[in-house]
Chain A
């Protein structure tokens, strides 16, 4: 993985009057990352994202994008950024194509009509280009929003809740789209979402913020592997005997029998293969091993702590 930093946020702080929305947020996004930006409601995600797009001026801290200070080289930086903040809003009285033309004209790049049609096709809006956006469903507006971010072929894409309001098929399409942007075009994508499974599927690095502060930042797999996960083990039978075996071989494990065929234990993810091997070597018929701790559990643990 290329470690060239694209975004460096250091000690970001933003107050709205007496209210501190962002107290101390720092993180780094490297080139080619799909970077998950997580936090509960009111954590300061949107304020941070707005600061990164110069919509809000922070009271303190520094934002460097492409190695340049955002507030000194704003236009130069934004010419290489495509973004959706919160939800994509458009001129409802204009058609989808006219809306894209308006945003393309001020994108800092020469965007041809061919590119506009190709981008509309890319997000599945071919045939609707002449329709007024006022008649679009929420999902269609989300797709148009994504089209708007891609028009000028930016290096960095910032997506705030891009799958909100989309049906399951739409969510999968957006997820695939993000992975294609990363894998085929080596774009850097920052993605905030309440769909934690979505982050888990597409992000390679992430930051969790809570109450305006960075809680943890790092590689998704490393952060997840470093934590204990709840492992459910399904056997043909003799779950109590299996429990005894595991307690002998892994004394620090906490485990319990759920049923004659099932037991659950808290284990570091890295130890799961060893647990499986121990059971198989002892002659237990393992039907399934299911790690139950997901990013969602990790997120709740981090933000509640």
Chain B
């Protein structure tokens, strides 16, 4: 029954116009970034490298597809959660708002199976978003800008990564970014289990992200013990794959914390949904 309902979920997601808003918005944003970089990328790069040019000389194709992909990831990882929540926050509460939840739950399928089937559908949808982002950023980026070494400016300074040593980093970075987005998906599904309208869980998810991000960025000692446990602190851990050497222990810590949040949010969703009186 789980897989039959998961199949149903795919049909629903494919038929809903809002599912394509995320993909369309992502495509548009990345294309705008690509064309902006094509038009004025040299100036953008020289602005970043200006402070190093007295001590370093940059030769070769710095503005290449690898750098473009990094810029795209950096820019969009803030916005993609909204696109994910737009679909996943609606999965349970949207059915309640439409009245179809009432029809669905009079069928011989357990409530846990309903949540899991929606979770699987959300995971596949999020995966498609990440793969599409990777394709546009990396494949189209390389096609438009060619390839070359990747120069990354991070808190430790300038890191130059050989072009032959980059693809695996992108692969793992996208995997961790996917896990971070799945945390958003499970959070919005958990909110969705509490609500009977579509917009509430989406707004609540974004509110939590904003709140946690603000707490994470405040340099106040009272939050020092909290910050390492906020999922938002670990959402940008994909960047660590572009450090040299790669801080594996920090990445693993982020992965465990994000996984823990995923499990917690799914558990909350199931706990609430199993006990919910369907009055809509």
Contact = CB atoms under 8 A, between A and B. Distances in A.
**10 A-B pairs with least C-beta separation:** A89-B99, A75-B108, A55-B278, A108-B108, A79-B108, A78-B108, A56-B277, A106-B107, A53-B106, A105-B4
Contacts of A78: 106-108
A155 to B, nearest CB: 13
Contact of B98 (A53, A74, A91, A103): A91
A129 to B, nearest CB: 16
Interface stretch (B5-13, B76-84, B173-181): B5-13
A108 B107 contact: yes
B245 interface: no
Given A91-B15, A92-B98, A106-B1, A83 B108 contact: no
Interface in A102-133: 102-103, 105-108
A54 interface: yes
A90 B103 CA distance: 8
Contact of A148 (B16, B103, B108): B103
Interface of B: 1, 4-5, 7-8, 11-12, 15-17, 98-100, 102-110, 275, 277-279
A16 B17 CA distance: 36
A16 to B, nearest CB: 8
Contacts of A93: 15-17
Interface SS, A side: loop
A75 B110 contact: yes
A55 B99 contact: no
Given A85-B102, A87-B99, A89-B99, A105 B108 contact: no
Interface residues of A, number: 33
Contacts of B1: 75, 106, 108
A55 B277 contact: yes
A94 interface: yes
Contact of B8 (A50, A56, A106): A106
A261 interface: no
A148 B100 CA distance: 12
Contacts of A98: 11, 15
26 contacts: A50-B278, A53-B105, A55-B105, A57-B277, A74-B108, A74-B110, A76-B108, A78-B106, A81-B106, A83-B106, A85-B103, A85-B106, A88-B103, A89-B98, A89-B99, A89-B102, A89-B103, A91-B98, A93-B16, A94-B12, A98-B15, A102-B12, A106-B5, A106-B109, A107-B108, A108-B107
Contacts of B277: 16, 50, 55-57
A86 interface: yes
Interface of A: 16, 50, 53-57, 74-79, 81, 83, 85-94, 98, 102-103, 105-108, 148
Most buried by B among A54, A56, A79, A89: A89
A56 B279 contact: yes
Given A50-B277, A93-B15, 4 more contacts: A55-B106, A89-B100, A106-B104, A148-B103
A105 B8 contact: yes
Contacts of A55: 102, 105-106, 277-278
Most buried by A among B8, B99, B104, B107: B107
B109 A75 contact: yes
Contacts of A81: 106
A81 B105 CA distance: 12
A144 to B, nearest CB: 11
A190 B106 CA distance: 15
Contacts of B12: 91, 94, 102
Contacts of B5: 105-106
Contacts of B103: 85, 88-90, 103, 148
Contacts of A86: 99, 102
Contact of A103 (B17, B107, B110, B279): B107
A119 to B, nearest CB: 15
A157 B198 CA distance: 31
Contacts of B7: 105
B8 A102 contact: yes
Nearest to B2: A106
A78 B103 CA distance: 12
Contacts of A107: 107-108
Contacts of A89: 98-100, 102-103
A103 to B, nearest CB: 7
Contacts of A74: 108, 110
Contacts of A79: 108
A93 B5 CA distance: 18
A85 B107 CA distance: 12
A301 to B, nearest CB: 31
A199 B11 CA distance: 39
A64 B110 CA distance: 18
Most buried by B among A16, A50, A87: A50
B74 to A, nearest CB: 35
Contacts of B278: 50, 55-56
B107 A94 contact: no
A16 B99 CA distance: 20
Nearest to B98: A89
A98 B12 CA distance: 10
Most buried by A among B8, B98, B106, B278: B106
A217 B15 CA distance: 47
A77 B110 CA distance: 12
